[in-house]
Amino acid sequence: MQRRHFLQALAGAGLLGSLPLTAARALAQTPGALSVDDLPALVGELTLYLGRGEGGLYENVLEAIQKRNPDFKLNIRRGVTAALANTIVAEAQAGVRRADVFWAVDSGAIGLVDEAGLARKLPADLTGQLKEGFRYDNWSPVTGRIRTLPYNTDKLTADKIPASVMALPDSGLSIGWAPAYASFQSFITAMRLLEGEKATGEWLKAMNKRGKNYAGELGVVMAVERGEVDVGFANHYYTLRLKAGKPDARVGLAFTQNDAGCLVNASGILALSEGDLPVNFIRYLLTREVQSYLASEAYEIPLVDGVVPPQGLPALDTISPPKMDLTQLADLRPTLDLMRRVGVL
């Protein structure tokens, strides 16, 4: 969906007419998410702290919301998600509140702010729109992403890949990873919480002998497709984006079972100031128009019922992610200490 069409549609009477016909029919058959037409107009001024991410697609959403609501002014401070979370906490400790809303690309940063007692409780009708397992009192997930194992389809089939991420170092496969990447560090945080620090440290040591380093997870997926490595670690959307531009790309997606290797993480948003305006702004991000746009353009997973997921990804109820409170991923410092101690960072 092109940016101009999205802006016109969301600012006007809704996005449904701009969706591909198959997606539009599916949406019509699976009601659940609210439309922007069902929401009150936004009136007033907000300051949003926005974690950088998704190649400007979040910016497109914000521009469309402002265009639809001419009496609404949105001031945006942009930055790295973790740094913005730390800034919010530091400002609060200094007796200052500059942000009204915080939209983070990683739930760990949301957890950091929430643990500091700065997030406002959200109404039940808002959080109740979200799928089970993604309902939190003080923040709202926006879209999800699954940890996956992209693999080279010329070299492997999915059944040749271990169902446990802990078995990968001994699998005999060549493996690509990006240990300095934030999403990978959240994955290791989940592993540390699920498997324990000792087992995670041993896994990292073993992987460090076998893994080939890349700067980011798109680089991992591209290396898998080129055949430099057999398999890698990456969020699902990097593979879907590559295949969207190169349909014959030699890469598939495998999933582990009930461990950190198939963790479903989420971007998220929370309100820091009182009143209806921050909450109603959050409601716009959960509409079927915005959720559909992020699914079709960013290949992220909509977390509100009644919205078509990105093509090429199995339904959430067909995989086996671990059950985890995503705000626990805020406990990142022990992860970084462990990764440095074993020589990965």
DSSP 172-199: ---EEE-TTSHHHHHHHHHHHHHH-HHH
Contacts of 332 (CB under 8 A, 6+ apart): 82, 108, 185, 186, 189
How far, CA to CA in Å, does 116 sit from each of 91, 113, 331? 12, 5, 13
Can you point out the beta strands (E) in 66-169? 72-79, 101-104, 140-152
Measuring CA to CA, which residue among 88, 31, 331 is closest to residue 194? 331
Contacts of 157 (CB under 8 A, 6+ apart): none
Residue stretches of the annotated binding site for Fe cation: 237-238
Whole-number Å distance between alpha carbons of 306 and 287: 10
Residue stretches of the annotated binding site: 237-238
Tokens of residue 67, six digits = 């265009």
Residue 114 DSSP SS3:
helix
Tokens of residue 116, six digits = 């500091």
Instruction: Return the CA Rg of the chain.
Output: 20
Phi-psi sector, 92: left (phi>0), alpha (psi -120 to 50), beta:
alpha
253 - beta bridge partners? 150
Which run of H or E residues covers position 44?
Answer: strand 44-51
106 - beta bridge partners? none
